[in-house]
Amino acid sequence: MNLARFGEKIYKIDPEIQVCVLDYRPEFRAHYLTRPSVDEMLRVKKILEDVGLKTVIVQTPFGHVGP
């Protein structure tokens, strides 16, 4: 399932549901995974907002971005 379809499923339940996307921190378990960049997290936020979700927050190494 792609991200937009995931967002659409949430939207169908209620577009006002707060969605918080956390950036994965590889220091916990899967050291082979790379942490998403700020640009990647901002693209995730835009994709979810573009499907109509009203409150999308993304976590980055520099803090949270959102309402």
pTM of the model: 0.85
Element (H, E) at 19: strand 18-21
Q: What is the pLDDT of residues 1-54, one digit of tens each?
A: 699 999 999 999 999 999 999 887 766 677 777 888 999 999 999 999 999 999
Angle at 11 between CA 5 and CA 14, to 5 degrees: 155
